[in-house]
C-alpha cells in the first residue's frame, strides 16, 4: 500500500511525496487507520521504524478536517510530550514539513532558551505543541499556557520519559487536560511499569506491537572488539579514518569521558563535536546542526542523543563505552541503519566491561558477533596512530638533539 492510497487530504499527500514518503512502515501501516478513526493507541516499536510519522500524518489530517472547538483561552489542539530538547525540535520539524501549505501552527517548547518568543507564539495561537515537561509546566503556572481544550495527547518515547523520572509529571499533566480526548502512547519498549501507566491514560486502546525477535534493526550489522581500555582511542582513530567522510556517532558513558575522547581525537588531527547534558541548549543545538549537515562528521556523545534523535545518513555508530542500561544498546545502534538504509555499529569491550556485555547479550537473547584481530594486526593499528607517529618523531628529534650536543662537546 502507498500513501497515495490513503484517504488523506491532497496537501498531505503532496507533502509526503515531497518528503520522500512513498510507502508506510509497519508501525505507520498499523497505527494510521486507528488514529484516523479517533481511537486511543498504545504502540510499541523499536527505534528507527517511523514512529513520528505514524502519529504526525493522521493527526494533521484530523486537525485539518475537524472543526476547532471554541476556547476561552488560547489552547493547543494537540499536545506532544517528549523527554528531551532535541526530540522536541525533531518532532516539530516533522510536523512542519508535513503541514507545509496549511494553516496548522506548530511550536517546539523547551527550557534552556528565552521564554518570551515562546510566550508570544502561544499568544498568537498554536495547534500542535511539542514540549518537554519542565518548560510546559512553568508556562502553565505563569498563566500563559492553557491545556483545557487539548483534543489529542501524544506521549512519545514514553519509556525514556519514565527512565528520566517524568512519571510524576505525566500523572500531574492529566489533571490539566480534558477527560474527553484521544490519547496516543508511543514507546520503544514496554514493561509492567510502562504498561500500568499506559493503561491509566488510554481508553480501550488499539494495541500495536512491532517487535521482531531481534530488537536490533535488521538494517544494522553490529559487532564487538575486545580491547584494553587504553587501546580504544587507537581503534577509534582507525575506524574514523576508514569511514571518512561519513557521519560517525561515538557513544561514551559520561561527560568527562566525552571530553577526554574528543581531546584524544584532536591530538591526532580529527575534529569532533561534543553532545552531553552539561552543555547549554544553544551549544547542543549548534553541535547537532553541524553534525546533521555533515560540517563536522564526528560526534562524541553521552546517551543524551541516543534516544529518538533522527540524524540522517549515520554510517557508523561506535560504542566506545558499553552502556550501563541494556536498552540503551539498542537505542544507540539504532542511530544508524534508519529507514531503508544499511548501517554498522561497533562496540569496544574492555576486560572490565565483559559483565556488561554479557548482560546485553542476555537481554538481546543472542551473542553479538566478535571481530578478532591477531596480535600483529593490533600492534599495527597502534603503531599507525598519528599520536604514536608524533611521539616517535618527537623522540627522534630529542635523540638527534642529544647527539648534536655530544658532537659539540667533543669539538670543544
Q: Is there a contact between 249 and 301 (Cβ–Cβ < 8 Å)?
A: yes
DSSP, collapsed to helix, strand or coil, labels residue 85 as helix
- Looking at every residue in the chain, the average pLDDT score rounds to 85
DSSP, collapsed to helix, strand or coil, labels residue 304 as helix
Task: Choose between 386 and 211: higher pLDDT.
Answer: 386
* Residue 107 to residue 58: CA distance in whole angstroms: 18
Bridging pattern class, strands 78-81 and 152-155: parallel
Nearest Cα neighbor of 95 from 134, 152, 145 is 152
- Confidence band for 105, pLDDT divided at 50, 70 and 90: very high
Q: Is there a contact between 147 and 176 (Cβ–Cβ < 8 Å)?
A: yes
Q: Which three cell numbers stand for residue 185?
A: 502512547
- Confidence band for 396, pLDDT divided at 50, 70 and 90: very low
* Residue 307, pLDDT score: 59
Question: With pLDDT > 70 as the criterion, what percentage of the chain qualifies?
Answer: 89
Q: What are 309-333's pLDDT values in tens digits?
A: 678 889 999 999 999 887 788 888 8
Tell which CATH classification among 3.40.50.850, 3.40.50.300, 3.50.50.60, 3.40.30.10 matches the domain 3-210: 3.40.50.300
Q: What are 113-152's pLDDT values in tens digits?
A: 889 999 999 988 899 999 988 899 899 889 899 998 899 9
Does domain 220-372 bear CATH number 3.40.50.300?
A: yes
* Residue 367, pLDDT score: 92
Residue ranges of the chain that CATH labels 3.40.50.300:
3-210, 220-372
Adjacent-strand bridge partners of 210: 45
Sequence-distant (6+) residues with CB within 8 A of 200 are: none
* Residue 75, pLDDT score: 84
168 — phi, psi (to 5°)? -65, -40
Q: If phi over 0 gives left and psi between -120 and 50 gives alpha, with beta otherwise, what is residue 287?
A: alpha
| pLDDT over 60 (residue 24) | yes
CB atoms within 10 A of CB 276: 21
* Residue 241, pLDDT score: 93
- Confidence band for 411, pLDDT divided at 50, 70 and 90: low
Query: Can you spell out the DSSP letters for 16-58?
Result: HHHTT--S--HHHHHHHHHHHTT--EEEEE-TTS-HHHHHHHH
Q: Is there a contact between 84 and 307 (Cβ–Cβ < 8 Å)?
A: yes
Amino acid at each position: 500500500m502507498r500513501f497515495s492510497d490513503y484517504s488523506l487530504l491532497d496537501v498531505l499527500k503532496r507533502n509526503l511525496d515531497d518528503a520522500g514518503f512513498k510507502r508506510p512502515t509497519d508501525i505507520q501501516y498499523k497505527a494510521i487507520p486507528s488514529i484516523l478513526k479517533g481511537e486511543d493507541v498504545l504502540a510499541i516499536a523499536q527505534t528507527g521504524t517511523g514512529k513520528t510519522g505514524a502519529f504526525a500524518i493522521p493527526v494533521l489530517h484530523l486537525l485539518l478536517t475537524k472543526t476547532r472547538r471554541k476556547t476561552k483561552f488560547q489552547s493547543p489542539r494537540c499536545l506532544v510530550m517528549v523527554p528531551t530538547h532535541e526530540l522536541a525540535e525533531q518532532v516539530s520539524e516533522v510536523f512542519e514539513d508535513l503541514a507545509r501549505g496549511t494553516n496548522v501552527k506548530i511550536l517546539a517548547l523547551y527550557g534552556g532558551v528565552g521564554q518570551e518568543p515562546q510566550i508570544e507564539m502561544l499568544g498568537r495561537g498554536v495547534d500542535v505543541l511539542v514540549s518537554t515537561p519542565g518548560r510546559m509546566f512553568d508556562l502553565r503556572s505563569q498563566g500563559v499556557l492553557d491545556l483545557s481544550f487539548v483534543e489529542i495527547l501524544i506521549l512519545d518515547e514514553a519509556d525514556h520519559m519514565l527512565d528520566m523520572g517524568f512519571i510524576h509529571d505525566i500523572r500531574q499533566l492529566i489533571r490539566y487536560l480534558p477527560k474527553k480526548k484521544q490519547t496516543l502512547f508511543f514507546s520503544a519498549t514496554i514493561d509492567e511499569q510502562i504498561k500500568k501507566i499506559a493503561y491509566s491514560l488510554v481508553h480501550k486502546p488499539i494495541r500495536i506491537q512491532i517487535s521482531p525477535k531481534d530488537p536490533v534493526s535488521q538494517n544494522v550489522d553490529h559487532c564487538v572488539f575486545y580491547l584494553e581500555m587504553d587501546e580504544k582511542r587507537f581503534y577509534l582513530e582507525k575506524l574514523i579514518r576508514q569511514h571518512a567522510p561519513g557521519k560517525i556517532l561515538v557513544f561514551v558513558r559520561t561527560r568527562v569521558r566525552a571530553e577526554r575522547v574528543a581531546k584524544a581525537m584532536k591530538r591526532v588531527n580529527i575534529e569532533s563535536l561534543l553532545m552531553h547534558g552539561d552543555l547549554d541548549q544553544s551549544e547542543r543545538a549548534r553541535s547537532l546542526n553541524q553534525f546533521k549537515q555533515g560540517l563536522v562528521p564526528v560526534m562524541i556523545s553521552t546517551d543524551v542523543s541516543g534516544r529518538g534523535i533522527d540524524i540522517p545518513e549515520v554510517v557508523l555508530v561506535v560504542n566506545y563505552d558499553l552502556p550501563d542500561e541494556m536498552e540503551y544498546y539498542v537505542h544507540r545502534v539504532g542511530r544508524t541503519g534508519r529507514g531503508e538504509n544499511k548501517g554498522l555499529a561497533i562496540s569496544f569491550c574492555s576486560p572490565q566491561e565483559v559483565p556488561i556485555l554479557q548482560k546485553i547479550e542476555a537481554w538481546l537473547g543472542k551473542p553479538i558477533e566478535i571481530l578478532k584481530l591477531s596480535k600483529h594486526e593490533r600492534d599495527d593499528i597502534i603503531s599507525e596512530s598519528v599520536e604514536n607517529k608524533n611521539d616517535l618523531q618527537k623522540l627522534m628529534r630529542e635523540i638527534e638533539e642529544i647527539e648534536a650536543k655530544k658532537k659539540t662537546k667533543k669539538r670543544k
